């Protein structure tokens, strides 16, 4: 099986610019998740999709953040008007279905640096 892939792996941008990240889940995985991880911390949940439907969004996901999964396959995470506090690793994960037994598999992450 091909694992979860993310693009780009690294992004450097200036404050105020918009950035977009892409995540391709493991094929046949219905669920796709986005997390954010800052230095020295564990990942924090941002949002997740089941197929095309966005089922939950964290309070961390401000109005400047938007995520889509238009055809139930890949997903994009866009950050508008980036701020220095947005600098973090953005991790994508996918799983077959829901339930507490379902294992999430992570991609390599996109490291964002906002100057």
Partner 1 sequence: AQKITQTQPGMFVQEKEAVTLDCTYDTSDQSYGLFWYKQPSSGEMIFLIYQGSYDEQNATEGRYSLNFQKARKSANLVISASQLGDSAMYFCAMREGQGGKLIFGQGTELSVKP
Rank residues 18 and 44 by Cβ distance to partner 1 and give the closer one: 44
What's the min distance (Å) between Cβ of 52 and partner 1? Answer: 15
| 33 is an interface residue for partner 1 by CB under 8 A | yes
According to the 3-state scheme, what is the secondary structure of the chain?
Answer: CCCCEEECCEEEECCCCCEEEEEECCCCCCEEEEEEECCCCCCEEEEEEECCEEEEECCCCCCCEEEECCCCCCEEEEECCCCHHHCEEEEEEEECCCCCCCCCEECCCEEEEEC
Instruction: Tell me which residues in 1-30 interact with partner 1 (CB under 8 A).
Output: none
Q: Which of 45, 66, 73, 87 binds partner 1 (CB under 8 A)?
A: 45
Rule CB under 8 A: which residues touch partner 1? 31, 33, 35, 40-45, 48, 50, 55-56, 58, 89, 91, 93, 98-109, 111
């Amino acid at each position: 099986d091909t694992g979860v892939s993310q693009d780009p792996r690294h992004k450097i941008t200036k404050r105020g610019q918009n950035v977009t990240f892409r995540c391709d889940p493991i094929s046949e995985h219905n669920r796709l998740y986005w997390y954010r991880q800052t230095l020295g911390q564990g990942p924090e949940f941002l949002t997740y999709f089941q197929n095309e439907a966005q089922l939950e969004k964290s309070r961390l996901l401000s109005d400047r953040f938007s995520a889509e999964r238009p055809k139930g396959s890949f997903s994009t995470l866009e950050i508008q008007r980036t701020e220095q506090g947005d600098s973090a690793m953005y991790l994508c994960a996918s799983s077959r279905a829901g339930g507490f037994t379902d294992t999430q598999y992570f991609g390599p992450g996109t490291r964002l640096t906002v100057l």
